[in-house]
Structure 1
Amino acid sequence: MRLITNFLLKKSKRRKDGKYPVYIRCTIDLKRIELSTGVYLNSCDWDNLAQQVVPLAENSRNLNKKLNNFSNTIFDKYYQLEAIGNPYDINNLKECLTNTPKHFLVDTFQTILDDIHRRVGYDYSYGTYKHYKTILGRLKEFIKVTYKKTDIPLSGINFKFITSFDSFLKIHHSVGPNTIGHYHKKLKKVLNDSIALGLIDKNPYTRFKIKRYQPNRDFLSLNEIRKIENKKIEIERVRTVRDIFLFACYTGLSYSDIHLLTKFHIFKGDDAEEWIIIDRTKTSTRCRIPILPKAKAILTKYENYPESVNKGKLLPTNSNQKMNTYLKEIADICDIKKALTMHVARHTFATTITLANGVPIETVSKMLGHTSIKTTQIYGKIIDSKISKDMKKIKNIWQSF
């Protein structure tokens, strides 16, 4: 990046004695700063074309020497930034010249991460904290590999840094586009917090578009659900995971919400039926879900299960990672070719159990605890059985003519 400087007589800042300050304007990549040189002149004593005090002005030789030294100091700092090799911009140069305290990316991110950790259970979930922690780890690695440093100034975070980080995630970690999008959103949030704290002036993400792709979300058909229900499983731990997965299929609850489920989340509705009413761990949005008979049967099966009783929970959940590991085994023994996870159960509730059977999307959205119906539309796939039912209606209409 090339540094361009030029002097100017700042006529908007005229002193009482009629003199004007001489400023130096520094430009890098079309961004500029202006610094006072401490030299004051009458307008007739400044030669703008020659960029110097006119020779006939009082003390012109010393004043021109002072301006020249000021310019040399700026270029010295500029060459130092170039030699260091860290990303920098015009603000870094200003920091060097004015002795403004530097604020660094990793250090600031860690401070924000520590604050999130303290707020887990209040306005942040532990899962969110883990996501931020993972991103910080990736950033540290990226800075070490790319710049051979442990940290870089916040003011050095620019468009080039972001695009390089994007490429690093794709090449070194084979991260998918939507996961990369989540990384960028979290980093963007950290930089916005840095602006709020007065550490930087602008967020370079204003020039970077975070891309998001609509993924193909797996869900189970009724036949696949029946396969899992009817499969005889001898190993108790695998059988338990199967039952909890099916419970998720019939309620739409996520793993984290099932993990927290207690008897205090079960209520009698105005219809005299039992309902699950729980605030979602992820968004704190309230879910209200009528308990279907098959879901009720699973709760009844585990109501006296020692692990459930000891922990005060309705179902004996393992960690989400272990649950998903066992679900891979279940997919194999049931000859299901889809990658089973606890989230597939949530998709299955939204599609096969509800939307495919005519439940309005607004109702499904309420049961899933979504804050926007647009989120529900992601789940709202029209599956083959629904298409078949609708087409049969059309066939019947045409046959009557």
Structure 2
Amino acid sequence: MRTSKTFSIQFWMDTKKSKNGEGLIYARINVDQKRLSISLKRKLAMEQWDFKTQKHQGASLTAKEFNRYLDLSKSKLFRCYQELRDNGEEVTSKAIKNLFLNENSNGHTLQDLIDYHSKKIENTHAIGSIRNFKVTEGYIERFLKKKRLVDISLSGLNFEFLCDFENFLNAYYPKGHPKAMSHNTVTKHIQRFRKIVTLAYNLEWIKDDPFRRWKSTFDKVDREFLSDSELSKLATHHFQVDRLDRVRDLFVFSCYTGISYVDIRNLTKKNVWIGDDEGNKWITTFRQKTNTKIKIPLLFRAEQILNKYETHPVTEISGTLLPSITNEKANLYLKEIATEVGIEKNLTFHMARHTFATTVALSNGMPIETVSKILGHSKITTTQIYARVMDHKIKSDMDAVQERLNEKARKLEEEKELMHLREKIIAAEKKNYSHMTKEELLKKLNKIMNEKSD
């Protein structure tokens, strides 16, 4: 069977049939010097077409999008050429054109899926979730570039592709990071990619789910939190620098309420209400991440911090309960705070929620169901990730167990001693009656019976 010796792809504009100054763009494929043009069904103003580079001129968003489409078309044409060769079929310009047009009319690509998914979640997911999906999509794009592809057909998504993508992530060193991604970070990107591919399966864009045999697990990570003494030291420390004092207050407020940083920034006086006749204050708000409503009674330390900033110039201007600062700056200042206070742990703002769950709530007897409700978790298993039993709680519980064991041991010893006394009494009584005759024993028995009846 004859195989092709030469293959090339070029783009050109048909200026002869132009209308209103716009020309139709074609892809010209050449196989063994036999060429054939394919309309890409895209028009462009003639002054915007670069005849030399065969691309849209300029660096505008429109130009980039147009040129990306050209690169995608070129990639598809090359894939059609490779497919014919790999299947042992005759490679001709017409065969490539037929395969290309058939794929374009009936098939969807990975980029089509990503674009569809992005539009689908833009009004249903939180900003942070959308941002995380964008990061994963960026890694998918880098992976395709490494394979020298602009895009692939969804039919090309298979188990091998997933394995190669996972290997790529495991070996990838993100810019500005001292090491490669952790196993859990890689798994999280795969998990997001899986949600995107599942959408394609539900839309019936693909016949089989390439993830059906895929199994992934997260490594268990012990999340850090502040102990009682560390939290007390941090809360009572006097800072000379005002910015550190403010960030400390935000962190401690989160430690005593469990409210995340982004939700603290959105708190206003409308979120504070009197919950009962005794005048106790509560905070009620909706979590930005999950839109879950949370209601939290204010502990004394948290209420103190609110009172501190009630008439503060910063909060009066912003209208918020507490001063506002970016999360990045807050985490940066927390490193300075940890150094000044003498806390050796890697202090991050999210650690405050772990501290609330473990040190403030669970270690002081709050049921995990209540902690879950305060944290705004929809599943108690999420709360269990935060929950850690502290050493002093373990010691206290073990002391209680030891006390119960000691009580049981004391009762057992008393029973043994009582039984031993009974045996001694019985033995002594035997000696007292052993020398008596039958008549004497009967008289003694009658006497005892008479005494009992009286």
Coarse TM-score class (shorter-chain normalised): 0.7 to 0.9
Structure 2 CA distance for partners of 1:254 and 1:76, relative to 1, 3 Å: closer
TM-score normalised to structure 1 length: 0.73
**SS of aligned partner of 1:217:** coil
Distance apart, 1:388 and its partner CA? 2.2
Q: 5 Å matches for 1:132-143?
A: 132-143=133-144
Q: 2:400 aligns with which of 393, 397, 400?
A: 393
Distance apart, 1:233 and its partner CA? 1.3
Letter in 1 for 2:370: T
Q: Matches of 2:82 and 2:325 in 1, distance apart?
A: 57
Letter in 1 for 2:165: F
Per-residue CA deviations over 1:8-38 (Å, capped at 9, x if unaligned) read xxxxxxxxxxxxxxxxxxxxxxxxxxxxxxx
Q: 5 Å matches for 1:2-401?
A: 78-80=83-85, 98-99=102-103, 100-117=105-122, 119=123, 123-145=124-146, 147-173=147-173, 174-270=180-276, 272-396=279-403, 401=410
Q: Matches of 2:165 and 2:285 in 1, distance apart?
A: 39
Over aligned residue pairs, what C-alpha RMSD do you find? Answer: 2.3
Q: Percent identity?
A: 39
* Higher relative contact order structure (alpha carbons within 8 Å, sequence separation ≥ 6): 1
Structure 2 CA distance for partners of 1:195 and 1:397, relative to 1, 3 Å: closer
Distance apart, 1:201 and its partner CA? 2.0
Distance apart, 1:198 and its partner CA? 3.2
Letter in 2 for 1:156: G
Distance apart, 1:370 and its partner CA? 1.0
Per-residue CA deviations over 1:164-216 (Å, capped at 9, x if unaligned) read 11111111131112222221121111112222333222221111112212211
TM-score normalised to structure 2 length: 0.64
**SS of aligned partner of 2:247:** helix
Q: Matches of 1:109 and 1:201 in 2, distance apart?
A: 18
1:70 aligned residue = none
- In terms of mean alpha carbon deviation, does 240-249 or 330-339 score higher? 330-339
Is this contact kept in 2: 1:262–1:312, CA < 8 A?
yes
Letter in 1 for 2:140: L
Q: Structure 2: give runs of 5+ residues left out of the alignment.
A: 1-79, 89-97, 174-179, 411-454
Distance apart, 1:396 and its partner CA? 4.8
Is this contact kept in 2: 1:244–1:317, CA < 8 A?
no
**SS of aligned partner of 1:339:** coil
Q: Matches of 1:361 and 1:95 in 2, distance apart?
A: 60
Q: Matches of 1:132 and 1:163 in 2, distance apart?
A: 20
Letter in 2 for 1:127: G
Distance apart, 1:309 and its partner CA? 2.3
Q: Matches of 1:76 and 1:246 in 2, distance apart?
A: 63
Q: Matches of 1:223 and 1:350 in 2, distance apart?
A: 16
Q: Matches of 1:81 and 1:260 in 2, distance apart?
A: 59
Is this contact kept in 2: 1:267–1:275, CA < 8 A?
yes
Q: Matches of 2:87 and 2:243 in 1, distance apart?
A: 60
Letter in 1 for 2:376: G
Structure 2 CA distance for partners of 1:81 and 1:349, relative to 1, 3 Å: farther
Q: Matches of 2:312 and 2:119 in 1, distance apart?
A: 38
Distance apart, 1:399 and its partner CA? 6.5
Per-residue CA deviations over 1:119-171 (Å, capped at 9, x if unaligned) read 1xxx31110111011111111111101x1122111221111111111111111
Per-residue CA deviations over 1:96-140 (Å, capped at 9, x if unaligned) read 6954433221242133224433x1xxx311101110111111111
Larger radius of gyration: 2
1:27 aligned residue = none
Count of residue correspondences: 312
Structure 2 CA distance for partners of 1:81 and 1:220, relative to 1, 3 Å: farther
- In terms of mean alpha carbon deviation, does 381-390 or 190-199 score higher? 190-199
Q: Matches of 2:323 and 2:111 in 1, distance apart?
A: 39
Q: Matches of 2:81 and 2:252 in 1, distance apart?
A: 68
Q: Structure 1: give runs of 5+ residues left out of the alignment.
A: 1-74, 84-93
Distance apart, 1:299 and its partner CA? 0.9
